[in-house]
A and B are shown apart, each in its own frame.
Chain A
């Protein structure tokens, strides 16, 4: 029987802070990222070494996407969007390492002997994803306020086009803005948590299948990181779009530039 805990289990407390195994996973991911950043930037070369190429790869990928799809404010968006992407990618891939979710201590819960792992996949803890979603919310609202002003952004949210429908559409727009927090956090949490449970169940049914599903989990981890970052970017683009530029598309490409000739269309993701 597989023991599944929907919330992260507390390990110990430091003063008022309870350290759960999900928090420990997030801290480990951050430490890995920070040390990798320090190590790589100390040795950065114009002609990159092998390690530098590997680290630069995801960054170049997200850079290309934000540059082509990020609207006029892509330059200011890039640090936060790329950070969200790389943090989630690291956390998701770290959760596939051996020992994460499997090494722990036994405890008794409701008369059952259950394993409490020391490290849990960070995104399988709703606190982590909710924190990221709140960050994304704050970012797109502040971008909207910065480009359109307090009044302009409030007007945009409360009285969307067409104006005569705004008593109906205003509340809907407001609720849809706020519900982005829930959908962003639940999407990432649901995917990673379901992946963890699936791996646990497969380990009981037939360990040979775990290899296949782990390969898929690598893919899903990257896709969910990309989706979170892209949705955050799209919300920023929607918030910074001025009135009259049209509301039909989520991602205006090269608004201020001349029409793009077919051979200049950026190829590759």
Chain B
């Protein structure tokens, strides 16, 4: 029985949970801050994009693991 597809699916599926929650929290806080003070948009933009990029990187690692499981291992 070939369990590799299951392993790859679990890798990306479980790996995407944390970054998903993190991205939601980060975005909601950023929206809150912009809602309170619309002028903070300019200063918030760069740290926000960097933060979500770092959070998203974790799910990309999971994706890479899944890809390695399928294509390399």
Contacts and interface: CB of A to CB of B under 8 A. Distances in A.
Interface of A: 4, 6, 65, 68-69, 183, 186-187, 190-191, 193-194, 223, 226-227, 230-231, 234, 250-251, 253, 262, 265-269
A265 B47 contact: no
B46 A186 contact: no
A185 to B, nearest CB: 10
Question: Which of B46, B49, B71, B72 has the most CB atoms of chain A within a 10 A radius of its CB?
Answer: B46
A186 B60 contact: yes
A269 B45 contact: yes
Contacts of A230: 46, 49-50, 53
A267 B41 contact: yes
Interface string B11-55: 000000000000000000000000000011111011101100100
Contacts of A183: 57
A268 B42 contact: yes
Contacts of A69: 46
A226 B43 contact: no
Contacts of B47: 250-251
B8 interface: no
Nearest to A188: B60
Contacts of B53: 187, 227, 230-231
A109 to B, nearest CB: 13
Contacts of B67: 6, 190, 193
Given A65-B46, A251-B47, A267 B56 contact: no
B44 to A, nearest CB: 10
Nearest to A70: B46
Contacts of A186: 57, 60-61, 64
Contacts of A6: 67, 71-72
A222 to B, nearest CB: 11
B49 A265 contact: no
Contacts of A4: 71
B39 A234 contact: no
Contacts of A250: 47, 50
14 contacts: A6-B72, A68-B46, A186-B61, A187-B53, A187-B56, A187-B60, A190-B60, A193-B67, A231-B53, A234-B50, A250-B47, A262-B39, A267-B41, A268-B41
A219 to B, nearest CB: 13
A262 B43 CA distance: 11
Q: Which 7 A-B pairs have the closest CB atoms?
A: A190-B60, A227-B53, A269-B45, A267-B42, A6-B71, A266-B42, A190-B63
Given A186-B61, A269-B41, 12 more contacts: A6-B67, A68-B46, A186-B60, A190-B63, A191-B60, A227-B49, A227-B50, A250-B47, A251-B50, A266-B42, A266-B43, A267-B41
